[in-house]
Amino acid sequence: MQPHQHAHIRTVLQVAAEGRPPPSERDRDSIISESWARCVHQHRLDPTRMCEPVILPSHRLREHQDRLEDFIHIARHGLETLYQQVAGMGYCLLLTDARGVTVDFIGAGAGELAAPVRARGGLRVALAMLARSPPPRDPAMSTRASLQGFAHAWLRGWLALAAACAIAANAAAQSPVRSIDVAYDGETYVVKAQMFAPVSQAIAWDVLTDFTHMAAWVPNVRESSIVRPGDKQMTIEQSGIAKFGLLSFSYTSLREIVLNPQTTIESTQIKGSMRRQQSVMTLSTEGDGTRLQYQLELVPSGLASTVLSQDRLKHDIEEQFTAIVGEMIRRKK
């Protein structure tokens, strides 16, 4: 890591901790400092952790783009108009989905930067600088910062309008969770959740049992495979990265799956990072869609046992099933 990178990390941490930059950075536009603070506190990113970009295969990128096809189409004009404001300044424009995967971009050299950016939250646009090191300060810096502030503010308004236009197409995918109850007795977490998917029971079943491709749409899952296939009983293996605030760790899970076709999916951990993990998903028809009832019993171990909480688990379950129901809706189209 270069000295200027260490200095930048210290600056970001100070902004996040104290809410203001050091004296040497006071002339930086406030929108930049606010973005740093959101990255640490809201999106739980760790500025001290250097991660290589994750490059998705073309077919998986296409899946992310397909889910947001209507929104991308609406937002494209806004992206092009905004880029006219920053063209020639060494920036490209990246539009990412809620998982931080770049689904559209504009700008010379943007191709090499259009890789998944680990972020959390909703749709967003990033102004990515093509230079590999910070540019020297010069009299034009204040003008550039002001232009960046205007561009970000203008873009937020445009995306809000685009989101309003696209909300009808995405509403079901945004809020599929009706209720989540998380209980904890000092050792075991018990989760009871109810969701609704506006798709047939057959489509819901196909997505929930598509273990081979599950890493494409389930947050935090990097790899998923069937190690012992079977019609009604099989063994699957999954691995990924679990995040708890600024902490993150790798996990693996080897699980026995018992299927009652289109009705229940029982999952029991055989070997993995948790002391015990067992769940049941029940599907039933409701109107024009499918009701999903999920129950999980989890006994964490190691680092997870010290940082996991009821709120954290509730958030992760909601994020996971929002993404899964989103995939169901995509397959319905």
175-332 architecture in CATH? 2-Layer Sandwich (3.30)
Residue 133 has what pLDDT? 33
- The confidence band for 17, taking pLDDT boundaries of 50, 70 and 90, is confident
Residue 134 has what pLDDT? 39
Q: Could you give the C-alpha distances from 148 to 152, 154, 227, 275, 292, in angstroms and in order?
A: 6, 10, 50, 49, 45
Residue 73 has what pLDDT? 76
Q: In this model, does residue 216 exceed pLDDT 80?
A: yes
CA distance 270 to 255: 5
**Residue whose pair of structure tokens reads 């020297």 in the numeric block:** 136
- The confidence band for 8, taking pLDDT boundaries of 50, 70 and 90, is confident
Average pLDDT on 55-72 reads 81
- The confidence band for 168, taking pLDDT boundaries of 50, 70 and 90, is very low
Residues 6+ apart with CB under 8 A from 48: 9, 13
Q: In this model, does residue 175 exceed pLDDT 80?
A: no
Q: Report the DSSP pairing between strands 233-244 and 289-299.
A: unpaired
Residue 251 has what pLDDT? 84
Average pLDDT on 226-233 reads 93
Residue 55 phi, psi (nearest 5): -95, 115
Q: How far apart are the first and last CA of the chain?
A: 47
Q: In this model, does residue 204 exceed pLDDT 90?
A: yes
Q: Which of 20-24, 134-138, 151-155 has the lowest mean pLDDT?
A: 134-138
Residue 110 has what pLDDT? 46
Residue 24 has what pLDDT? 64
- The confidence band for 80, taking pLDDT boundaries of 50, 70 and 90, is confident
- And the tokens for 152? 């970000």
Residues 6+ apart with CB under 8 A from 245: 44, 307
Domain spans, the chain: 51-169, 175-332
Percent with pLDDT over 70 in the chain: 70
CA distance 292 to 194: 6
Q: Which residue has the higher pLDDT, 296 or 77?
A: 296
Residue 160 has what pLDDT? 53
Percent with pLDDT over 90 in the chain: 29
- The confidence band for 280, taking pLDDT boundaries of 50, 70 and 90, is very high
What digits encode the pLDDT tens for the residues 89-146?
667 778 888 777 888 888 755 444 444 443 333 444 454 443 333 344 444 444 444 4
Residue 135 has what pLDDT? 40
Q: Which of 28-42, 67-81, 148-162, 301-315 has the lowest mean pLDDT?
A: 148-162
- And the tokens for 182? 């998380």
Q: DSSP letter for 134, please.
A: P
What mean pLDDT value characterizes the chain? 76
- The confidence band for 238, taking pLDDT boundaries of 50, 70 and 90, is very high
- The confidence band for 205, taking pLDDT boundaries of 50, 70 and 90, is very high
Residue 207 has what pLDDT? 95
